[in-house]
Amino acid sequence: MSLSSSHSPVKVLIVDDSSFMRTALSRMVESDDSLCVVGTAQTGLETLAKIGALQPDVVTLDLDMPGLSGLETLKRVMSESPRPVIIVSSTARRGAEDTLEALELGAFDCIAKQLSYDSLDVLKVQNELVSKIKAAAGPRLLASRLSRRLDCPPLHLAPAHRAPTATVTVPSIIAIGTSTGGPKALQEVLSTLPADLSAAILIVQHMPIGFIGPLAKRLNDLCPLKVHEAEAGDLITAGHVYFAPTGKHLTVRRRSSSEVALRLSLLPSNLLNIPSVDVMMSSVAEVFHSSAMGIILTGMGDDGALGMQAIFREGGLTLGQDQASCVVYGMPRSCAEMGVLNQVVPLPDIPRQILAALRYRKPH
């Protein structure tokens, strides 16, 4: 059942200073009957005027515009007429850094902008754009039309299938998976954890190519922990955070009783998400068994459900972000429905749960 079958289409405003991009994005959006482009804009001031006149449900926003910049436009949208904004950004370094700032300011998500597309790229970007617009419009439609989101039926938790263990192993590694809403959520979690954390952290964050390096650098500057983009052969070290690079799966391999190294791979290549949370977490479960901790945060889709299940079955600890604090309750929901979460907690409580699992004591 589509949104259009019982509701008017989701109204979208396309903002880009390039005529080519406005046309390309408009065609992508209108490929789905449940979405409708109600207008386009070339500048920041035109964007603000058209939001007031057209009242779109979702805005796609270019950050590199003449006059009022995309970031200044976003600030004004969020203060004057808040609504979901999806950033359509260049993958150049400045574009990536501006996009991360936009996400911190309240943008819903981002997609990468390319000046030209082959047929496969068009389909991939189109599917990504359409799915993110629908996810962004969900809460607004729920509030404005007093309607339950059609892709979000009532949650019925599946029963847990793991027998309780007599003792709980202290984790030596923490695997985190996230997507939409992840950069801001990760900043909240990681900035609260101490530099002398007794475990390493591996993270898969779904983002376009070119964004993970700047995200890791930004978090490294903000957090006590040492945050890196993972490199093949890195030895896992407590107190360090390793991000999977976009386009490569992150796994682990035990080299000795005391050394575990990171591996990067293009395979499997047939998965929707590369890197995959499932691939990373399943590898962690296989190597670390009950001394692994899995955490699933806000995000679209169900990547991570099988990985969390693997950690759960090995006797590791599994933690899910609750619905109320998620930007999109997709990935945690899938884990909850499979019955593979030991705990479901609000985002602000996750750092405390990590420290409790590690039996952390603040040094005197």
Annotated catalytic, 206? yes
Residues 6+ apart with CB under 8 A from 21: 62, 88, 113
The three-class DSSP label of residue 198 is coil
Catalytic residue among 206, 249, 276, 282: 206
CA atoms within 13 A on the CB side of 29: 26
Sign of CA dihedral 29, 30, 33, 37: positive
**What's the token pair of residue 149?**
């989101």
**What's the token pair of residue 106?**
């309240």
Tokens 């449940």 sit on residue: 34
Catalytic residue among 276, 278, 303, 334: 303
Rounded Cα gap, residues 176 and 223, in angstroms: 16
Q: Which of 285, 302, 258 is nearest to 175 (CA)?
A: 285
Rounded (10°) angle between helices 182-190 and 93-105: 80
Specify the pairing of strand 109-112 against strand 173-178.
Answer: unpaired
Annotated catalytic, 303? yes
Catalytic residue among 179, 276, 325, 334: 179
The answer to whether the CB of 218 falls within 8 A of the CB of 100 is yes
Centre a 10 Å sphere on the Cβ of residue 247 and count the other Cβ atoms it contains: 13
Rounded Cα gap, residues 269 and 238, in angstroms: 30
Q: How far is CA 344 from CA 162, 275, 331, in A?
A: 17, 24, 12
Task: Kindly report whether the peptide bond that precedes residue 275 is cis, defined as omega within 30 degrees of 0.
Answer: yes
Rounded Cα gap, residues 152 and 138, in angstroms: 9
The answer to whether the CB of 279 falls within 8 A of the CB of 254 is no
Rounded Cα gap, residues 278 and 259, in angstroms: 23
What residues are labeled active site?
179, 206, 303
